Chain A
Amino acid sequence: MRGLPKIAIARLKAKPDEGKPTGALTGPPPFQGEAHPDANLLTAFAERTLTERERASVLKHLGQCAECREVAAFIVPADALMEKPAHGVAGRRWNPWPVLRWGALAAVLGTVTLVVVLRSGRWQQNQEISKSTTPPNPVGNVTMAPQTVAPLPSVPPPTETAKTKTQADALQSYSNSEAELKKAAGPQQDASLQNPSGRLQAQQHATVMASLRPPPALQTENGPAVSARQEQSQGGKALSAVALPAPAPPAAAPAPPLAASDEAEKKGTEPAAAPQVFRSTTQSIAVSAEPLEPEAAQPSTAKTARRGGASAAMDVAAQTPMLGMDASVRGMKSKANTPAVLWNVSSEGKIERSTDRGKSFQPIAVADNVNFQTVASAGNDVWAAGAGGSLFHSVDAGANWTRVTITSGKTTVTETITAILLSTPQHVTVITSSGSQWISQDSGQHWQKQP
């Protein structure tokens, strides 16, 4: 607020002197004179017991008489005063009320708008999901459930700094990989998201993963990676893989190989960090739904697996940024949206299937002497992969399996396949333990290695 012009203040101050009786040395005549309201009127004015007419008369005088204003201000006891602001022109002159008033109003309006928008979005999502409670095919969920990683030479445990750095590297690499995958997939991948059925799948997957979300403590433990990945996914990532619950206790998980693998990556023994992220994702899927037990009971395996579980959960939730969060709530409240058929890799490296929403899993015969690492599904299409470049494909929900060899020119994949990503049933991406990525756009007929 701009203050009163100085000329106005000067003239306001000059006014009382104009009516000053002649002969007075300083100021108006003594208070006993008729020029001033008596103490009764000043008291009544200060205590607001004057009539309107009297009040107007006293006000007129007070506007011109500084001494009577002083007296009037003195009449009300000091304890009736509000707290005085600190002396100083700037502090005294600043008037916070308008700012506070409008600020509070803006805050309230903003909150209301936010609530309305969020509620509206949730309502629409609820409508969509309620329409899809009976999916056309109960096995129609895109599934990715690799569990363990290939054993690697044991190395000393990394320091916390190295661990953090490795996580950051892995995230960066993962981000790059995702961008490349998306670029390679082209409009088809985007179409899968824009397609209503694709969205529906994503919603269902998010719902599944929401029910598998680890407790807040674990999310906090894995905070940086989760948040970073969430940001990536909000940028348009289109993962169709969904983690599935694994009934196997974490004690059965092969902890030493996992630890060794992580440590090897942290030491830079692997060319790219991206696989670590995927592997971490797949690890989490196998154990994320299991009851979380005290860490002391499951030292390294449980910890690593849970951490991965949080990442995987966020991965899937991040496919649909708003939906993921919303679905988590719905998933917690109801299991009605959990797919009936779930796929898993057991701790022994075998493929398992659950037809009762994860309550129990039955082993599925895919191939002997293959240590499977990961499994993914999209509708009736199921992909399983593991050590030695083993990759199997089933188009009838696991009834029959076909071995698929990943070749491109003279190159054949013989490394352990640690992750499978299904954007669509036809679009398959596999990632090996060395970090190389292979993409097929025709359900595994032809493969192309990503640079």
Chain B
Amino acid sequence: MSGSQETATRPTQFEIPDLLAAKLHREAGADRFGLTTQVFAGILQEVASKYLPATASTSELTDFLNHLRLEELALARACALGSEAAWDIFLTRYREKLFGAAHTLVQGDANARELADSLYADLYGTRAADGWRISKLNSFTGRGSLEGWLRAVLAQEYVNRFRREQRLVSLEEQTDAGVQFEADTQDPSQAIDARLREVTDQTLGALGTEDKFILANYYLDDRTLAETARLVGVHESTISRKVEKITASVRKAILSGLMKRGMSRAEAEQTMEVEVTELAVDVRRRLMQEKGRPSVP
């Protein structure tokens, strides 16, 4: 419980009623991990302060707290505080899952184990700040499942590792990879008709956030309709109709914009279908290529 003092004394904007705190503490089973009601209330205050606006009412606070993954929050925070009992449970529950998730990111058992172990180190907390271990589990807030959070952290760790490795590539390796022959990475659409670019940007800018997300998933990330639907949280048939509808509306808007700018319909259609060479760096593709290589130790 080395970090309990720090957590409990952290200033918060919200006061958790004792009855609510006791109820949530009981529901979380925080006693099993050695967390007192006061400590757990402090954790809840910290989480609420992070996400709720200062003007949130008590009912909003109660509703927010009731929707947290309380048991997993207590487990993660207890691990971050060094509870042996919590770590036993954590390892029993998530060790194999984390390894399996790492295995989907990199090839080979050794690489997957290495990636998972590097995350374990962060989770346990190897860095010391003012004498305290800083555990990554301390940033878990219970908004989603602990397993999902671990997968997200693992994926982020993998991307960060990829970036670090890119920075460490030697000049010889870059030469071998043909980097000197790479084309300019500036947006190729800069070279095309300014009216088309302007209309396209306006059209895309007018799209809703979800529509843009769907288009990006489908057209940029090459995700299937099923994967996109799962991310958006709708049925596959629904996302199919959405993709179709958004695509049609984008085409129509671009066509209309070009015609408003003095083009005939035939000219506008021809302009809209101009070939745009994809010269931009595709991070995802490069990531996928990287999966085939052994990870850099």
Contacts and interface: CB of A to CB of B under 8 A. Distances in A.
A46 B104 CA distance: 18
A13 B236 CA distance: 24
A70 B101 CA distance: 14
B254 A8 contact: yes
Contacts of A217: none
B152 A42 contact: yes
11 contacts: A2-B251, A6-B274, A9-B219, A10-B189, A40-B142, A69-B213, A74-B105, A84-B224, A95-B243, A95-B244, A97-B237
A146 B273 CA distance: 78
B219 A12 contact: yes
Contacts of B284: 66, 70
Contacts of B227: 73, 81-82, 84
Given A39-B152, A81-B226, 18 more contacts: A5-B250, A5-B251, A6-B273, A7-B196, A14-B189, A26-B166, A31-B156, A38-B139, A39-B140, A39-B156, A42-B152, A43-B152, A66-B284, A70-B287, A75-B152, A76-B230, A78-B104, A82-B236
Contact of A71 (B143, B155, B209, B215): B155
Interface string B201-228: 1011000011011011101111111110
Interface stretch (B4-12, B87-95, B170-178, B275-283): B275-283
Interface in A1-39: 1-15, 17, 25-27, 30-31, 38-39
B278 A10 contact: yes
B293 interface: no
Interface in A347-403: none
A45 to B, nearest CB: 8
A410 interface: no
B143 A101 contact: no
A335 interface: no
B143 A7 contact: no
Contacts of A40: 139-144, 149
B294 interface: no
Contacts of B278: 10, 13
B127 interface: no
Contact of B204 (A8, A31, A67, A84): A8
B163 interface: yes
* A-B complex: 8 closest residue pairs judged by Cβ atoms: A43-B144, A63-B212, A82-B226, A39-B152, A44-B143, A59-B209, A43-B148, A31-B156
Interface residues of B, number: 78
B231 interface: yes
A63 B220 CA distance: 10
Contact of A92 (B151, B187, B188, B222): B222
A71 B247 contact: no
Contacts of B243: 1, 95
> Chain A at the B interface: mostly helix, strand, loop or mixed?
helix
A98 interface: yes
Contacts of A54: 51
A261 to B, nearest CB: 66
Interface string B129-173: 000000000011111110111011111100110010011000000
A2 B247 contact: yes
A413 B284 CA distance: 95
A131 interface: no
Q: Which of B152, B156, B163, B192 has the most CB of A within 10 A?
A: B152
A72 B272 contact: no
Contact of B276 (A6, A30, A63, A85): A6
Contact of B272 (A7, A31, A69): A7
Nearest to B147: A77
B159 A71 contact: yes
A421 interface: no
B35 to A, nearest CB: 19
A75 B155 contact: yes
A275 B119 CA distance: 94
B96 to A, nearest CB: 13
B230 A81 contact: yes
A2 B251 CA distance: 9
Contact of A11 (B139, B204, B251, B273): B204
Interface residues of A, number: 63
A352 to B, nearest CB: 69
A244 interface: no
A70 B216 contact: no
A183 interface: no
B257 to A, nearest CB: 12
B240 interface: yes
Interface in A53-93: 54, 56, 59-60, 62-64, 66-67, 69-78, 80-85, 92
A74 B240 contact: no
B164 to A, nearest CB: 9
A47 B254 contact: no
Given A9-B219, A63-B212, A26 B200 contact: no
B254 A5 contact: yes
Nearest to B269: A5
Interface string A433-445: 0000000000000
Interface string B231-245: 101001100110110
Contacts of B147: 77
A49 interface: yes
Given A5-B272, A49-B143, A80-B230, A10 B187 contact: yes
Contacts of A66: 216, 220-221, 283-284
Contacts of B225: 95
A63 B152 contact: no
A26 B281 contact: yes
A38 to B, nearest CB: 7
A69 B214 CA distance: 10
Q: Which of B210, B220, B254 has the most CB of A within 10 A?
A: B220
Contacts of B155: 70-71, 74-75
Contacts of A101: 237
Contacts of B201: 11
Contact of A63 (B151, B216, B233, B236): B216
Contact of B280 (A13, A44, A81, A85): A13
Nearest to B167: A25
